[in-house]
Copies of this chain bind each other. A is one copy, B any other.
């Protein structure tokens, strides 16, 4: 029951998934569909009494096989918590699950782009609080990865490598880095506390990452989300998106380039103030920000020290 239409004025596909209007919305604590199914307890989506990480097809999918896929990745059988509170080993395991889902969904003939993401917080419309993320396999190349391919073409090389080099040499927006991973508020961030976590070596996707890359990525991810939670001393809402090379055909004149990195889009611009996408963002496509990235980076560096 899902349909894809081409929006001519915007030059993009729009997806209609009409069963989704009925999807589960903030169920009572005792009816979480992502909890394990305990003996004698209510049946959940996961028919096991305990588990580490579970992946299953979304019951209210944006995309349905054979035209795409929408999966849920449950990070833990514990209802409370977040990426910040998982064990380091579990987050590292999650990186391998991401890698596996990218490989498997990306290998399907109809898939042109695999996107792993997490929506966190009611501020971004989250309907289930149990710690989880999602994966979409798009049967077309969406606008944002297409723009990234265009950036690579415009710069005549990897745009992410070029931006990373600039951020490392400038340093004002850098949050932390080790040998494998760098974290920064990008020079032209759209969101007040937008952060990019970038694998420093040029890796097209998680498939090219070695065990040490993934271990460092997991560690950096936890460092960042703990800093986020410390920033305003509250659970910090965000949209987190893993950007990787498209797995299918790309438009004429572009190369299938890419460089794996995570982008975080947090809707808060202050402890109690949301950034709304209104006239300029929706009508022009231009973000108007209230804060400069250098100041956000300074605040985040302090919060990360507190959160450590």
Chain A contact residues, CB within 8 Å of chain B: 3, 5-18, 20-21, 62, 113, 115, 117-119, 124-126, 134, 136, 138, 142-145, 147-148, 150-151, 154-155, 159-160, 162-163, 186-190, 239, 241, 243, 263, 265, 269-270, 273-280, 282-292
Can you name the residue of chain B whose Cβ is closest to the Cβ of A122? B276
Can you name the residue of chain B whose Cβ is closest to the Cβ of A145? B284
Beta-carbon contact of A16 and B292 below 8 Å: yes
Beta-carbon contact of B134 and A10 below 8 Å: no
In the complex, A171→B304 CA distance in Å? 56
In the complex, A14→B134 CA distance in Å? 28
Pick the residue among B274, B278, B286, B287 that contacts A138 (CB under 8 A): B286
- Given that A265-B282, A282-B265, A284-B113 are known contacts, is A289 also in contact with B17, CB under 8 Å in the complex? yes
Beta-carbon contact of B115 and A287 below 8 Å: no
Instruction: With both chains docked as a complex, state the minimum distance between the C-beta of A132 and any C-beta of chain B, in angstroms.
Output: 12
Looking at A113, A163, A186, A285, which has the most chain B CB atoms within 10 Å of its CB?
A285
Beta-carbon contact of B115 and A279 below 8 Å: yes
Q: How many copies does the complex hold?
A: 2
Residues of B within 8 A of A118 (CB): 279
Beta-carbon contact of A17 and B144 below 8 Å: no
Looking at A10, A162, A280, which has the most chain B CB atoms within 10 Å of its CB?
A280
Pick the residue among B144, B162, B265, B284 that contacts A285 (CB under 8 A): B144
In the complex, A154→B9 CA distance in Å? 10
Beta-carbon contact of B188 and A144 below 8 Å: no
Instruction: With both chains docked as a complex, state the minimum distance between the C-beta of A260 and any C-beta of chain B, in angstroms.
Output: 13
Beta-carbon contact of B11 and A124 below 8 Å: no
- Given that A143-B284, A276-B125, A284-B143 are known contacts, is A289 also in contact with B16, CB under 8 Å in the complex? yes
Beta-carbon contact of A142 and B284 below 8 Å: yes
Can you name the residue of chain B whose Cβ is closest to the Cβ of A2? B288
A-B contacts, 14 listed (Cβ < 8 Å): A5-B187, A7-B186, A9-B160, A12-B286, A16-B289, A17-B288, A18-B290, A21-B270, A21-B273, A21-B291, A118-B279, A142-B285, A239-B279, A241-B283
In the complex, A279→B265 CA distance in Å? 9
Instruction: With both chains docked as a complex, state the minimum distance between the C-beta of A153 and any C-beta of chain B, in angstroms.
Output: 10
Instruction: With both chains docked as a complex, state the minimum distance between the C-beta of A287 and any C-beta of chain B, in angstroms.
Output: 5
In the complex, A291→B187 CA distance in Å? 37
Instruction: With both chains docked as a complex, state the minimum distance between the C-beta of A40 and any C-beta of chain B, in angstroms.
Output: 35
- Given that A118-B279, A241-B279 are known contacts, is A286 also in contact with B8, CB under 8 Å in the complex? no
